[in-house]
Chain A
């Protein structure tokens, strides 16, 4: 008999803050849920996580409670009891909230988080993990466990790009399969004087996916608590977020069928 099936883990990571990790993680989770998968969104930005802020959730339990329960009795531990369900738009997915108290967050042990994630993998098709922008022990563990690391960057000014470069080098130096790491550029056409090709050359790899700058739409989504992909209103950012997930899952989008995404044309696919 085969082993129990373990779900796919997608970690959203970056080396700079405020590049859109949380927004993208939320939308990935929502889009995957919309496609019918069982999805859990995990907030591993332990100290200042924003997942529940963005989704306007008031969690009863958090990761800290789950860990405490797990330590108490591993036998009867049911991780699902510690999730908060997001179902405002009839597309339910689970959320494992970051600890409410900073001291709880500070004292969390990486191995305990790892056990929780393993439990979740048995219950869900997809885990989407939001992170803090640092190579912390817990983030390295999450990346190690990940099927895919979505390494997110923005091109605004030189220091951010330097950090993207050193982060990219570091991730590639960790020994993962190159294919596991997907570089995603957010806010591609924001005002900057830096050329995208130059950045790709510097990083030594191309962006797997490019998300357009749509600050207004993103801000509105944060204000309303509605993930963009569940919003009825069309926007370029929504389309590209959905395209990204479609590329991950391999399920083409019904509505945008035929013109999947212009970055990887059918022509280039012929020659893979």
Chain B
């Protein structure tokens, strides 16, 4: 394996193999002579990953430590990040994967803590796709950290239409391949939208939805945690096996409804009743109403009261702005950054940034 990996490194453009060791003791004792700026550390043989990694990160302060293992496990990310590792690779790797790993991890490194936020709507037509896309943009701009959007609204996900994308890889391929993926390779299934913002598109045809295995999908979500600071997930409306599983794997679930003057409050209340089965629902469940008019504190309080739940956010009705942006594959907050819509999206982003990071693995 060492021989094979050495040759991959040697053959990768812009890489130079300065030294290699079979034993960690040799590397730690002698490696400094070669002034490495990157260390590829195999963690499969060690009994204590954390202290092994930490020894390397403290010894080689100027170098990025990228861990390697035959298989990725969600729990490893926490250990690796905690010990100061910058990234992770599945071994054996190819030149492309090595380059991709550097690109992926150079900015933010392996995420130590992340927020997975899912968006549930009782009945559909909630405005959640618009909300997620714009919110993702706002989070990416405000934090400068990686934001990933996953379109898990399997039958009728709109994210690719929304951004005008024709994805080659979608959630379907990610779920199919998950057993062979590492954070780096998963990253390439996402399509870049803007700086620090990328999206994993939904299935291309409604009938493909059936091919998405829920357990594997949840693994995709937990792996996405290690490459994104924020993971926003668009889930199908109503209670379905996938919407329930995703909400359970999320740190925060937003229940989203559009104000239409019919029975949206009742539907939200009924949905909330189900979420109240979680012992920590008050921390993990929030609500958003879209197309709220007038969009002010008074109305927000009224909605909270009608709903009987205090955590209510509101988004104003700017139909023309939002629909023309969507038709053009643009985001409303970029088209009109000074609009009321943009202001409320930014407010919601601040709310998310201010919330605690939970580490909820698997």
Contacting pair A18 B122 (CB below 8 A): no
Judging by beta carbons under 8 Å apart, are A159 and B162 in contact?
A: yes
Scoring B residues 302 to 336 as 1 if CB is less than 8 Å from chain A, else 0, what string do you get?
Answer: 00000000000000000000011011000000000
Please tell me if the beta carbons of B266 and A53 are within 8 angstroms of each other in the complex: yes
Known contacts: A17-B125, A18-B260. The answer to whether A158 contacts B161 by CB under 8 A is yes
Residues of the A chain whose Cβ atoms lie less than 8 Å from the Cβ of B273: 102
Q: Are A16 and B124 in contact (CB under 8 A)?
A: yes
Contacts of B323 in A (CB 8 A): 156-157
Q: Are B122 and A170 in contact (CB under 8 A)?
A: no
Answer yes or no: A271 CB below 8 A from chain B CBs: no
- CB pair A50–B263 under 8 Å, yes or no, is yes
Interface string of A110-138 (1 = CB under 8 A from B): 00000000000000000000001111000
Interface residues on B, range: 20 to 34
Q: Does A70 have its Cβ within 8 Å of any Cβ on chain B?
A: no
Across-interface contacts of A105 in B (CB, < 8 A): 239
Of A106, A169, A222, which contacts B262 at CB under 8 A? A222
Cβ contact within 8 Å between A135 and B155: yes
Choose one: A16, A53, A163; the contact of B263 (CB below 8 Å).
A53
What residues of chain B lie closer than 8 Å to A80, measured between beta carbons? none
Minimum distance in angstroms from B38 CB to a CB of chain A: 43
Q: Which residues of A contact B238 (CB under 8 A)?
A: 47-48, 132, 134
CA distance A270 to B274 in the complex (A): 57
Min CB–CB distance A216 → chain B (angstroms): 11
Q: Does A15 contact B (CB under 8 A)?
A: yes
Residue of B nearest to A16 (CB): B125
Q: A157-B326, A158-B327 are in contact. Are A48 and B267 (CB under 8 A)?
A: yes
B263 and A166 form a contact (CB under 8 A): no
Check A16–B156 contact: CB distance below 8 A: yes
Query: Which of A158, A163, A219 is packed against the most chain B CB atoms within 10 Å?
Result: A158
| A48 CB contact (under 8 Å) in B123, B158, B326 | B123
A135 to B236, CA, bound (A): 12
Q: Which of A19, A133, A162 contacts B158 (CB 8 A)?
A: A162
Chain A nearest CB from B133 CB (Å) reads 11
Contact with A along B122-140 (1 / 0, CB 8 A): 1111000100000000000
Of B161, B236, B270, B327, which contacts A134 at CB under 8 A? Answer: B236
A170 near B158 with CB under 8 A, answer: no
Mask, A80-106, CB within 8 Å of B = 1, is 000000000000000000000011011
Contact A17 B206 (CB under 8 A): no
19 contacts between A and B (CB under 8 A): A15-B155, A18-B258, A53-B263, A53-B266, A102-B271, A102-B273, A103-B274, A106-B239, A134-B156, A134-B236, A135-B155, A135-B207, A135-B209, A158-B161, A159-B162, A162-B161, A166-B206, A167-B206, A170-B207
A interface residues (Cβ-Cβ under 8 A, vs B): 15-19, 45, 47-48, 50, 53, 102-103, 105-106, 132-135, 156-159, 162-163, 166-167, 169-170, 173, 193-194, 219, 222
Which B residues form the contact surface with A (CB < 8 A)?
122-125, 129, 155-156, 158, 161-162, 205-207, 209, 236-239, 258, 260-263, 266-267, 270-271, 273-274, 323-324, 326-327
Beyond A17-B125, A135-B207, list 14 extra A-B contacts (CB 8 Å). A15-B206, A17-B123, A17-B124, A18-B125, A18-B260, A45-B123, A47-B238, A47-B239, A48-B122, A53-B262, A102-B270, A132-B124, A159-B162, A170-B205
